Amino acid sequence: MNEETNTQKISTEEAREIKKDISQIMGHGTKGEDVKMAMTFVPLGNFRRPQVRSMSCGCQRIYVQLIGFLIFVLLIAVIRMISNMRVVFVQYHMASDTDGELVLLPVEFAASRGAFCLDGSPPGYYIRYGKSPNINKWIIYLPGGAWCTSEEECYSRSFTDLGSSMDAPALSAFGGILSASETDNPDFHKWNMVKLIYCDGSSYLGNRSRTVEYKSKPIYLRGFPVFVALIDHLIKHTDLSSADNVILAGTSAGGIGALVNGDFLRDKLSSVESLHVLLDGAMFPDQPSYSGEHVMANLLKKTFYFHNIKDSVSIKDCTSELDISEQWKCLQPNYYYKHVYTPAFFIQSLHDTWFSAHALGVQCSTKGL
């Protein structure tokens, strides 16, 4: 009983000490009523801290606006891209109506026929299709570009558009007899036009089976297989074989190729009603130069033997009648024409500028003649 009483006294005394300490802290006396007054500032009931309200434009709203802006920018970019594509297409279509479009032979197709440019790239051609009423009429044109007569010359040529199709442009301007202009080309402007790429250096007549190695690079001398492969591809992928009229035309070195290959093409297109050969500036007679040199004869002779032209099918009617030392003369149109059964028409100016300058050594101008 005494222990419980003592415990209650101690608790009472501790409580008084606590009240006294609180009173001192608050700056009041030790009386109970003073303590009660000092504590009246404490609010009664449930107390909530004031909350800061969120901003009117939250993070989610910012994301939505950002996504909307990006979609708008993307939509504008797509519209501009489509507009640019349409402009490019229209420009390309307008150009293709007058120019020739590039066709490169598939590698497998060319390889199966041993047809390669000097650098080993596949040959090709440019084509523009005809319009009614001449959709069954064709001109196949062999462009000029001289020849290469040695390993070094053909090696250097293989890095140019006269020895490779690697950098051939998608379009080629067609002018002259290939023009689509009725004013410039009233007789043929609606015909189908084909211009072969000249990349063999032999007037489409070379027939050397093995490559020539020069500076660790193989050089292909396959002019005649190139011509055959290009004609085969046209027969397979166009209506050339059912044509009413075909003209095989050529300029300079291409003119020699057109004349020599004319009968061969006529045999390939046996169902064609009419086939003619047209030569523009391709007459290269063995005429000595101003200094007495036989420049043209030496050039044709080197081309003939270096490219092994004597074994080309289209020239054998001529070469079979001559000794091997004289067979090169079959590259001269004024000599070869008597072996041609296909009708041929020659266009030759009195003073050919290339022949005068390179073969005859005459450097004066002939404009006034």
Cα 341–Cα 231–Cα 227 angle in degrees, nearest 5: 80
Most confidently predicted of 2-6, 19-23, 255-259, 319-323: 255-259
* pLDDT value of residue 48: 58
Residue 361 pLDDT class (50, 70, 90 cuts): confident
Q: What is the pLDDT of residues 245-261, one digit of tens each?
A: 999 999 999 999 999 99
* pLDDT value of residue 114: 97
Question: Would residue 24 be called left, alpha or beta, if left means φ above 0 and alpha means ψ between -120 and 50 degrees?
Answer: alpha
Residue 244 pLDDT class (50, 70, 90 cuts): very high
* pLDDT value of residue 86: 47
Residue 53, pLDDT > 90, answer: no
Q: What is the pLDDT of residues 326-342, one digit of tens each?
A: 999 999 988 898 899 99
* pLDDT value of residue 91: 44
Residue 55 pLDDT class (50, 70, 90 cuts): low
- β-pairing, 212-214 with 217-219? antiparallel
Higher pLDDT, 12 or 295: 295
Please give the single-letter amino acid code of residue 74. Answer: L
For residues 284 and 355, the answer to whether their CB atoms sit within 8 Å is yes
For residues 53 and 40, the answer to whether their CB atoms sit within 8 Å is no
Question: SS3 for the chain, per residue?
Answer: CHHHHHHHHHHHHHHHHHHHHHHHHHCCCCCHHHHHHHCCCCCCCCCCCCCCCCCCCCHHHHHHHHHHHHHHHHHHHHHHHHHHHHHHHHHHHHHHCCCEEEEECCHHHHHCCCCCCCCCCCCEEEEECCCCCCCCEEEEEECCCCCCCCHHHHHHHCCCCCCCCCCCCCEECCCHHHCCCCCCCCCCCCCEEEEECCCCCCCCCCCCCCCEEECCEEECCCHHHHHHHHHHHHHHHCCHHHCCEEEEEEECHHHHHHHHHHHHHHHHCCCCCEEEEEEECCCCCCCCCCCCCCHHHHHHHHHHHHCCHHHCHHHHHHHCCCCCCCHHHHHCHHHHHHHCCCCEEEECCCCCHHHHHHHCCCCCCCCCC
* pLDDT value of residue 13: 63
* pLDDT value of residue 23: 58
* pLDDT value of residue 88: 45
- For residue 30, the tally of other CB atoms under 10 A from its CB is 13
Instruction: Report how far apart, in Å, the C-alpha atoms of 11 and of each of 17, 29, 31 are.
Output: 10, 21, 18
Q: What is the pLDDT of residues 8-47, one digit of tens each?
A: 445 566 656 655 655 555 555 444 444 444 444 555 555 5
Cα 322–Cα 116–Cα 265 angle in degrees, nearest 5: 55
- For residue 41, the tally of other CB atoms under 10 A from its CB is 6
Higher pLDDT, 60 or 151: 151
Please give the single-letter amino acid code of residue 17. Answer: E
* pLDDT value of residue 97: 76
Q: List the single range of 18-32, 172-186, 270-284 with lowest mean pLDDT.
A: 18-32
Residue 216 pLDDT class (50, 70, 90 cuts): very high
Sorted by sequence, the CB contacts under 8 Å of residue 175 that are 6+ apart come out as 184
* pLDDT value of residue 85: 53
Residue 89 pLDDT class (50, 70, 90 cuts): very low
For residues 185 and 176, the answer to whether their CB atoms sit within 8 Å is yes
**What rounded mean pLDDT belongs to the chain?**
85
* Percent of the chain residues topping a pLDDT of 70: 78
Domain assignments of the chain as residue spans, ordered by start: 103-359
CATH code, residues 103-359: 3.40.50
| Beta bridge pairs of residue 65 | none
- Mean pLDDT, residues 308-328: 93
